[in-house]
């Protein structure tokens, strides 16, 4: 289902290009504020990057969330290459944020409430190594906070299986194709159909109840 929806959007984009228009223009309004050079960065792999991006994108204190690929061996991979499962890359989201407005611990809380951290083969109905969960840390402080957060989650008793989310050193991050960026805004009907088919919300509701963060 995920591949079929993406292919449909690609066809729409190609058709629009031929006509010289943007058929999938984002409905979001640009903030008009430049991102500071010393902005803090966080990188999360949470299965489908459409959902992970949506969870962070409209969070106060977050400048932007970019969908992309990281953790693998192939330089500047395409979506098709990553979905083949042969590159070692994760679908991930790189978050630029203001630590004066939102802390890294708060970002971790959002992250845990959008994933199944016990699934080492993908997320929900999305299967494959590219959909594994991982936290890519950018410095020692993030590493310590991520480790403590993962340990606290494991001790919480919310899950009846071990937490398998990896904590890895940040690797080169390659932005995904433009049609993937802000997908939840560009193609809301397709996005909602995908999310519904993935069984993402029922799982999060069962684990977190009213505490889950919807993407």
CA distance 19 to 62: 35
Of 9, 48, 146, 187, catalytic: 48
CA distance 73 to 84: 13
CA distance 170 to 135: 8
CA distance 47 to 93: 10
pLDDT in tens, 62-109: 999 999 999 999 999 999 999 999 999 999 999 999 999 999 999 999
Domain-wise residue ranges, the chain: 2-18+38-207
pLDDT in tens, 20-70: 333 333 333 334 456 777 799 999 999 999 999 999 998 999 999 999 999
Q: What pLDDT does 199 receive? A: 79
Contact (Cβ atoms closer than 8 angstroms) between residue 213 and residue 114: yes
* Number of neighbouring beta carbons within 10 Å of residue 145: 18
Active site residue 51: no
Q: What is the DSSP letter of 139?
A: S
CB half-sphere exposure, 104, CA atoms < 13 A: 22
Query: What CATH number belongs to 2-18+38-207?
Result: 3.30.1060.10
Question: Taking the model in full, what pTM does it have?
Answer: 0.82
pLDDT in tens, 140-164: 999 999 999 999 999 999 999 999 9
More confident residue, 197 or 210: 197
């Amino acid at each position: 289902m995920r591949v079929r929806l993406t292919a449909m959007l690609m066809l729409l984009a190609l058709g629009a290009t031929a006509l010289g228009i943007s058929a999938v223009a984002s409905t979001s309004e640009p903030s008009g504020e430049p991102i500071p050079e010393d902005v803090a960065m966080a990188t999360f792999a949470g299965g489908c990057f459409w959902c992970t991006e949506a969870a962070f994108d409209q969070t106060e204190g977050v400048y932007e969330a970019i969908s992309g690929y990281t953790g693998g061996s192939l330089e500047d991979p395409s979506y098709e290459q990553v979905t083949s499962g042969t590159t070692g890359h994760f679908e991930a989201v790189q978050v630029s944020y203001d630590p004066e407005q939102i802390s890294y611990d708060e970002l971790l809380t959002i992250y845990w409430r959008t994933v199944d951290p016990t699934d080492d083969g993908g997320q929900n109905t999305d299967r494959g190594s590219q959909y594994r969960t991982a936290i890519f840390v950018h410095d020692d402080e993030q590493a310590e906070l991520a480790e403590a957060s993962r340990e606290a989650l494991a001790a919480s008793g919310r899950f009846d299986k071990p937490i398998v989310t990896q904590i890895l050193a940040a690797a080169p991050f390659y932005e995904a194709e433009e049609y993937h960026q802000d997908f939840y805004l560009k193609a809301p009907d397709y996005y909602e159909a995908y999310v519904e088919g993935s069984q993402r919300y029922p799982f999060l509701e069962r684990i977190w109840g009213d505490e889950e963060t919807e993407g």
